[in-house]
Amino acid sequence: DTEVTQTPKHLVMGMTNKKSLKCEQHMGHRAMYWYKQKAKKPPELMFVYSYEKLSINESVPSRFSPECPNSSLLNLHLHALQPEDSALYLCASSPIWGSGNYEQYFGPGTRLTVT
Amino acid sequence: KQEVTQIPAALSVPEGENLVLNCSFTDSAIYNLQWFRQDPGKGLTSLLLIQSSQREQTSGRLNASLDKSSGRSTLYIAASQPGDSATYLCAVRASSNTGKLIFGQGTTLQVKP
């Protein structure tokens, strides 16, 4: 099973709302990622978790708050977002993070619209 | 700093044609290179992964090559079909960059029936 799942598929939220995105994998991977993708652009890395600890934060605004409750689950908590945060949010996982030759697997994404 | 470039940005071909997508990168110190396919509004599907020690990888009608010394990779699609229409992204994992994936801007392919 090489599947990364994400819920919800679509999310519309107001600027004062609080919502969460969820990502799950059952491949035994110990690294999980959040990416943001705007239309016609490649994905941009936001966060990396390795062994349930935050390893990389690419200077993401605090209105995005990641959480890794266990090795299979990754959440992204959203609060006080701006319309420019509307994008496709992609989750990915890999066996490890850092040095080495390994593959990343991506989920189907959550289409977020901030009104 | 590793930079990845994909040419062309868009490509339109008639069904049945063989085609080549190009990817170039500036730093040859890489662990591997991945080719992805992305349908509009969807996630990334990994097509092929080439390790730095490999020259090519094949999967069905797809063949990816890697020339690390010249910083180039190509994705060859044989006998293209309308279902191949999508955006194709290449990404390298640079060994000098904590393992981050560095993406190209993508090539959007349209295969006309």
DSSP chain B: ---EEEE-SEEEEETT--EEEEEEES---EEEEEEEEE-TTS-EEEEEEEETT-SEEEETTEEEEEETTTTEEEEEE-S--GGG-EEEEEEEEETTTTT-EEE---EEEEEE-
Chain A residue set in contact with B, beta carbons under 8 Å: 4, 6, 40-43, 45, 56, 88, 90, 92, 97-109, 111
Contact A101 B31 (CB under 8 A): yes
Contact A45 B101 (CB under 8 A): yes
A82 has a pLDDT exceeding 90: yes
What is the residue-level pLDDT of chain B in tens, covering all 113 positions? 889 999 999 999 999 999 999 999 999 989 999 999 999 989 999 999 999 999 999 999 999 999 999 999 999 999 999 999 999 999 999 876 577 899 999 999 999 99
A96-109 residues labelled b (16+ CB within 10 A) or e (exposed): ebeeeebbbbbbbb
Identify all chain A residues contacting B6, using CB atoms and an 8 Å cutoff: none
Provide the pLDDT for residue A62. Answer: 96
Backbone angles phi, psi at A56, to 5 degrees: -135, 130
Which residue from B41, B91, B98 is facing A98, i.e. has the nearest CB?
B98
Provide the pLDDT for residue B97. Answer: 58
Provide the pLDDT for residue B108. Answer: 97
Q: Which residues have C-beta within 8 Å of that of residue A89, sequence separation ≥ 6? A: A6, A21, A34, A35, A36, A37, A76, A109, A110, A112
Q: CA-CA distance, A71 to A29, in Å (whole number)?
A: 7
Instruction: pLDDT band for A101, please (50, 70, 90 cuts).
Output: confident
Q: Which residues have C-beta within 8 Å of that of residue A39, sequence separation ≥ 6? A: none
Which residue from B32, B46, B105 is facing A42, i.e. has the nearest CB?
B105
